[in-house]
Amino acid sequence: MNEMSGRQAAQSGKIAVVGDRELVLGYRLLGVEDAFIANKDDAQKTLMDLFNSNGYGLIIAGSEVRKALSSAARERLDSSIIPLVVFMPPVDSAAPQEESLSKLARRVLGVDIKGNAQ
């Protein structure tokens, strides 16, 4: 894929999902075709292959995928805007170590999101 078609795919909003079975099946039910079940042994390879393909504007990965990444890969993904890589916390836990939506907005958009306290 050449650079121009990679940019076009990223700008078209194509989405990929990498994670455990529950995460992947959920997104497949929502219509995301490029959804890949990955275990801790192949998670980094699968995610980095998608990232380097220049075919996606958004890559959603499970928190277990993030844990399987090397620090260099994690840093590269965290600093990327196209494609944007978002890590989903486990459904059964409010994991405080995960990046909050406000921190994600600050990192990607450069703006602070503040909720109304009532």
CA dihedral sign of residues 47, 48, 53, 58: positive
pLDDT of residue 107: 67
pLDDT digits (tens), the chain, 118 positions: 445 455 555 556 899 999 999 999 999 999 999 999 999 899 999 999 999 999 999 999 999 999 999 999 999 999 999 999 999 887 665 545 555 666 666 666 666 666 544 4
Count up the domains in the chain and report the number.
Answer: 1
The whole-angstrom distance between residue 47's C-alpha and the CA centroid of its chain comes to: 9
- SS3 state at 108: helix
Of 57, 55, 59, 58, which is closest to residue 47 (Cα–Cα)?
A: 59
Global confidence as pTM: 0.72
In a domain? residue 115: no
In a domain? residue 108: no
pLDDT of residue 38: 96
Q: What is the extent of the structural domain holding 48?
A: 3-90
